[in-house]
């Protein structure tokens, strides 16, 4: 007799989640409010753990979870799960990244209306016994231009709602293709154009090195006089001190934040500012959203425990047990190449091609392609994994091409990743040393051999004597230790590239100094 998998639901969630587990063939216990030591005492008898945000799945808990196979988070964020520790234990970590998209989009629209008609202040004034009808002169949204920063899943829903309100929508998203923009009914634009045109701006992008402070003081100054700003995405996208100053000066007519740089936001320079509205991170807080994520996590976990299916896993690819040992180093190489292209590509990318040669062409391409896409898209979103990356690529209108060439070239096995950009086709290629060690062997047509790991600097410069000494001196003066130098060039005295590994992140100020060195054309910090 086969033993049914046992699942513990340790946070409050919709009761239908337990029903789904039982229907799918699992035993379920619902025990909420456990203290860490109480959870640690009982976790050893469970195969699955379903959580929301309250339960902290620490290494200590995982060490005691001798039978645990999967942790499922009903929601997007997994800050309460030690994913490296889970991976080391062989525990799959899943989330539900799309269950609250409509709810978050609707909250952004609601805040936009509240700003347009000054609803919170008008309500407070009226309930205080005042009748300040002439004080609250709002604006219509019809015919206004909405600037959408981020046109992914949530952003596209906001766009459709705004178009239904007869607004014009201008979207900035490096991954938004012209074809997808036409499909959405929006105007694709660069950030400066959006800031210049928008009457309302909403943000729908994750917080990454590229998006942090995207509405900086400098960029806020580029906005139209009287703009209204809504952020239901992530704290840290907007310079809160600069926003306060812009509200005080009247340049920004109104702002609504559901998220803050520091949460819980017990204090903020924005609190009490006229024409400022805030909510306590309510973007995902509706009955429907909480039901959706609970049902989705139950379905995903049950599928994995009963059939082995993997959906929205953050730390494992989709592949069979037989394929895993052979494919693992290829997937690592593929993800590194995808990440490199993603970090070095500034333009919109309508197409990405994955080309395998030699021994690599004989393998299952699906995990390799998924690994490339995960590395490429993770630059923009920290929720991307090898399972949901193909879905996200399709959603963004990214064409994915797969090419196999069984003949061997210069290497017995090779993976090449190419992207179509406005500047033309650009590609990087890598191989495996001893069939297990990933190595970069070519980038943008230049032969260069390097191990992609940790913090790195990518430099394009004129091939001339003395450059290596100058860059070494600059980094040494800034206490940045160099690990390895990896050099390549098209021809003597022509364009050269330098990839060097460093022991710590390179500050922006040092990158700027490197850009100013004689002969330097481009400098970029990379991380793997």
Which residues belong to the active site?
A: 234, 263, 281
CA distances from 157 to 102, 148, 164, 430, 480 (A): 7, 11, 11, 38, 44
Inter-residue contact 100 to 292 (CB < 8 Å): yes
Phi and psi torsions of 289, nearest 5°: -65, -40
**Inter-axis angle of helices 153-164 and 101-116, nearest 10:** 50
Q: Residues 405, 406, 411, 413: is their CA dihedral positive or negative? A: positive
Q: Residues 350, 376, 371, 48: is their CA dihedral positive or negative? A: negative
DSSP symbol at 11: S
Q: Where are the alpha helices (DSSP H) in 308-444?
A: 324-344, 365-377, 389-395
Cα-trace Rg, the chain? 25
At residue 352's C-alpha, the angle toward residues 348 and 358, to 5°, is 155
Q: What share of the chain is helix, strand, coil (3-state, %, to 5)?
A: 35, 25, 40
Q: Which of 279, 116, 104 is nearest to 203 (CA)?
A: 104
Q: What is the 3-state secondary structure (H, E, C) of 65-114?
A: CCCCCEEEECCCCCCCECHHHHHHCCCEEECCCCCCHHHHHHHHHHHHHH
Q: Which residues contact 332 (CB under 8 A, 6 or more apart)?
A: 371, 438
- Let me know if 291 is exposed, middle or buried by CB neighbors in 10 A (0-12, 13-18, 19+): middle
DSSP symbol at 476: H
3-state secondary structure of 396: coil
Inter-residue contact 149 to 203 (CB < 8 Å): yes
Q: Which of 377, 49, 61 is nearest to 206 (CA)?
A: 377
Q: Which of 12, 46, 93, 527 is nearest to 304 (CA)?
A: 93
Say if strands 413-421 and 399-405 run parallel, antiparallel, or are unpaired: unpaired
CA distances from 358 to 53, 162, 325, 458, 518 (A): 46, 50, 18, 28, 41
At residue 230's C-alpha, the angle toward residues 74 and 245, to 5°, is 130
CA–CA separation, 344 and 347 (whole Å): 9
Virtual CA dihedral for 120, 124, 130, 131, nearest 10 degrees? 20
CA–CA separation, 108 and 207 (whole Å): 17
Q: 10 Å Cβ neighbour count for 53?
A: 13
């Amino acid at each position: 007799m086969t033993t049914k998998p046992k699942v513990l639901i340790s946070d409050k969630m919709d009761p239908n989640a337990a029903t789904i587990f039982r229907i799918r063939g699992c035993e379920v216990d619902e025990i909420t409010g456990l203290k860490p030591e109480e959870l640690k005492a009982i976790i050893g008898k469970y195969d699955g753990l379903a959580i929301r945000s309250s339960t902290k799945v620490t290494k200590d808990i995982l060490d005691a979870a001798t039978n645990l196979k999967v942790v499922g988070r009903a929601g997007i964020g997994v800050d309460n799960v030690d994913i490296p520790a889970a991976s080391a234990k062989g525990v799959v970590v899943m989330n539900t990244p799309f269950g609250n998209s409509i709810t978050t989009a609707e909250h952004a629209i609601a805040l936009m209306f509240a700003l347009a008609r000054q609803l919170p202040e008008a309500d407070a004034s009226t309930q205080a016994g005042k009748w300040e009808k002439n004080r609250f002169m709002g604006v219509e949204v019809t015919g206004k231009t909405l600037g959408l920063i981020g046109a992914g899943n949530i952003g596209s829903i906001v766009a459709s709602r705004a178009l239904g309100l007869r607004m014009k929508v201008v979207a900035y998203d490096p991954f938004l293709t012209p074809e997808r923009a036409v499909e959405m009914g929006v105007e694709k634009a660069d950030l400066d154009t959006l800031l210049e045109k928008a009457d309302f701006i909403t943000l729908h992008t994750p917080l990454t090195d590229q998006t942090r402070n995207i509405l900086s003081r400098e960029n806020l100054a580029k906005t139209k006089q009287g703009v209204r700003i809504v952020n239901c995405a992530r704290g840290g996208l907007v310079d809160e001190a600069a926003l306060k100053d812009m509200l005080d000066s009247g340049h920004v007519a109104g702002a609504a934040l559901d998220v803050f740089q520091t949460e819980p936001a017990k204090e903020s320079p924005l609190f009490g500012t006229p024409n400022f509205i805030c909510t306590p991170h309510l973007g995902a807080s509706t009955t429907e959203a909480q039901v959706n994520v609970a049902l989705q996590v139950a379905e995903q976990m049950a599928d994995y425990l009963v059939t082995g299916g993997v959906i929205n896993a953050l730390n494992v690819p989709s592949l069979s047990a037989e394929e895993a040992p052979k494919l693992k180093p290829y997937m690592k190489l593929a993800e590194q190449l995808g990440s490199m292209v993603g970090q070095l590509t500034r333009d919109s990318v309508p197409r990405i091609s994955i080309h395998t040669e030699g021994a690599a062409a004989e393998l299952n391409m699906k995990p390799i392609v998924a690994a490339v896409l995960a590395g490429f898209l993770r630059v923009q979103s920290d929720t991307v994994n090898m399972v949901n990356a193909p879905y996200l690529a399709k959603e963004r209108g990214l064409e994915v091409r797969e090419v196999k060439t069984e003949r061997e070239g210069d290497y017995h096995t090779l993976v090449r990743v190419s992207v179509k950009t406005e500047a033309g086709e650009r590609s990087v290629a890598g191989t495996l040393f001893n069939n297990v060690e990933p190595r970069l062997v070519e980038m943008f047509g230049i032969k260069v051999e390097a191990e992609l790991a940790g913090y790195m600097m990518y430099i394009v410069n004129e091939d001339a004597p003395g450059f290596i000494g100058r860059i070494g001196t600059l980094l040494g003066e800034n206490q940045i230790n160099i690990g390895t130098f990896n050099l390549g060039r098209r021809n003597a005295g022509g364009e050269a590239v330098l990839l060097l590994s460093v022991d710590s992140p390179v500050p922006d100020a040092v990158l700027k100094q490197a850009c100013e060195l004689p002969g330097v054309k481009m400098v970029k910090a990379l991380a793997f």
